[in-house]
A and B are shown apart, each in its own frame.
Chain A
C-alpha cells in the first residue's frame, strides 16, 4: 500500500515536472522570438548619441572618458570591467566609472547622480550609456584584470559578500545563486559560483527587462536582488556592489558577453 502511494506520488511529480518544463520551454521560445528585435537597441542608439553630445555644466562630451583602455576607447572596454583606475585610486565598474567621467569631463555632481533613484534624471541617461558601451563588447570574452592588488582584494571581498547571510530571512546572494539547475517559481537561476553560470548571469547585464519594459544596468540588477534579500539599500556604485561585480566577472572569465541581453 505504502509503495503504491509512493508510486502514485512519483507519477504525479513527473507529471507536474513535465508541465513546468513545457512552461519553461514556452518562455524560452517567447524570449528567442523577442531577441530577434531586442528593444535594448533603442537604448544603444540613444547611448551612442549621448556619449558624443556636449552636455553638463562644462558643455563637454564623454569622448575623452577612459573606461580602462585609454581615453575614448569604448570597443572591448566593457569585458575588462570592473578594474583598477589610477586617477581615482579605486576599482570601478562601468557605472561608477561613468560617474567619474560625468563629473570630471562634464561637470555633473557624481554624488547627486548616485543618490538619484533609478529611472529618473541622469540615471535614465546612464541606462542608455551602459547599453551602448556594453554592446561595443558584444561577442568578446570577459577578461577582467587581476594584476593590481586592489583588484584581487575586491575579488576576495566580493566572494565573501556573495556568501554573506543576513536580514530577517537569512538570505545571501548564494541562497539563490550557488547551485546548478534551481528555479524561483519558473525562473531559472544561474549558479554564479561557476564560470558557466556567471557567464550567463553576470554576462547578460545590462539587459532589457520584458516584465518592466526597462533597461537595467548591473547596479540596478544588484539593487533589486538585495531588495528581495530583505537587506538594507546598497548605495549606487558602492564598493560592495563593485566587489560583487569583480567576483562574478572574474568567475565568468572567458565567457562571451551577450549584453545588452533580453531578460524576463
Chain B
C-alpha cells in the first residue's frame, strides 16, 4: 500500500519540525502506511465467499486509496484498464431492457451473506437515477435518466450509434478505463456480471423503448 507522497512528505516535514522544536537529535519515524496495512491483515478473516484474498489490492485500488494520485498514475491506470475491456464475442451489445431493469434494482451479490456463485445484481439504483418511475435512487453517480435519448441514440443498431454503444459497454465492463479512481465497480473485469447481464443493462440504458429513455 503506497499512500501518496503528499502525506508522506507532510508527515516527514512534521517530524523534522517536531524534532527541531524538541531539540532532539532523533525522532522515531512511524511508517503509518505499514502500520495500517499490517492492521488490516491482522483484523479481517474469511467468511462465506469473502476470502482474505479480497484484501490484496491491485494497482488501481492501491493508487486510488491515496488522497492525491498523480496525473501520470491516473493515465497509466486508465490505459491498462482500457486494455481489459472485452467486447461481446457475439457482437451483440444489447439484450432485454426488462431483465436490465430487474438487475438495476437488485443490489445483492458477493457479500459474505450471499450464497457463493449466485448471480449478482447491478446495484444501479443504489447510486444512479435511472427511470422516472423509480424515485428511490442514489446520488453517488450521475443521473442516467434518458441516457440513450440525450446521446441521440434512436437506433442502437445504426452504425452512427456505435461510438456511444461501445463506450457504454466499456464503462460497465471497466469504469476505471475512463476515470481511474471512479467509485463505480468494474462489473465485467471483476466478473461481477456476466456478458448476458451486461447486455441487458445496455438495453436498459440504450433501447429507445426502455423506461430510462421515456
Contacts and interface: CB of A to CB of B under 8 A. Distances in A.
B183 A240 contact: no
Contact of A6 (B35, B132, B150): B150
B185 A227 contact: no
B55 interface: yes
A221 interface: no
A19 B185 contact: no
Interface stretch (B107-115, B163-171, B198-206): B107-115
Contact of B185 (A163, A169, A184, A233): A169
B113 A9 contact: no
A12 B32 contact: no
Interface residues of A, number: 52
Nearest to B214: A12
Contacts of B112: 227, 232-233
Contact of B135 (A20, A161, A232, A241): A20
Contact of A160 (B3, B47, B149): B3
A163 B67 contact: yes
Contacts of B36: 156-158, 160-161, 164, 243
A116 interface: no
Among A170, A181, A189: residue with most chain B CB under 10 A:
A170
Nearest to B149: A5
Interface residues of B, number: 56
B126 interface: yes
A185 B138 contact: yes
Interface string A229-263: 01111110011110100000000000000000000
Contacts of A5: 149-150
Given A163-B67, A172-B65, A232 B136 contact: no
Given A23-B136, A175-B140, A176-B140, A164 B40 contact: yes
Interface string A129-158: 000000000000000000001000100111
Nearest to A172: B65
Nearest to B123: A169
A174 to B, nearest CB: 8
A20 B111 CA distance: 28
A235 B3 CA distance: 24
A230 B139 contact: no
A165 interface: yes
A226 to B, nearest CB: 8
B82 to A, nearest CB: 16
Contacts of A13: 129, 143, 145
A175 B183 contact: yes
Among B57, B60, B64, B135: residue with most chain A CB under 10 A:
B135
Nearest to A228: B111
B192 interface: yes
A93 B45 CA distance: 20
14 contacts: A12-B145, A156-B30, A161-B39, A163-B65, A166-B54, A168-B110, A186-B136, A233-B112, A234-B43, A234-B44, A235-B45, A238-B44, A240-B40, A241-B43
Given A163-B67, A167-B50, A179-B140, 12 more contacts: A9-B145, A9-B150, A15-B132, A156-B30, A163-B3, A166-B55, A168-B185, A170-B185, A182-B139, A183-B138, A184-B140, A185-B125
Q: Which 10 A-B pairs have the closest CB atoms?
A: A240-B43, A238-B43, A233-B47, A160-B36, A156-B32, A169-B185, A157-B36, A232-B44, A165-B61, A167-B54
Interface of B: 1, 3, 30, 32-33, 35-36, 39-40, 42-47, 50-52, 54-57, 60-62, 64-67, 110-113, 125-127, 129, 132, 135-140, 143, 145-146, 149-150, 176, 183, 185-186, 190-192
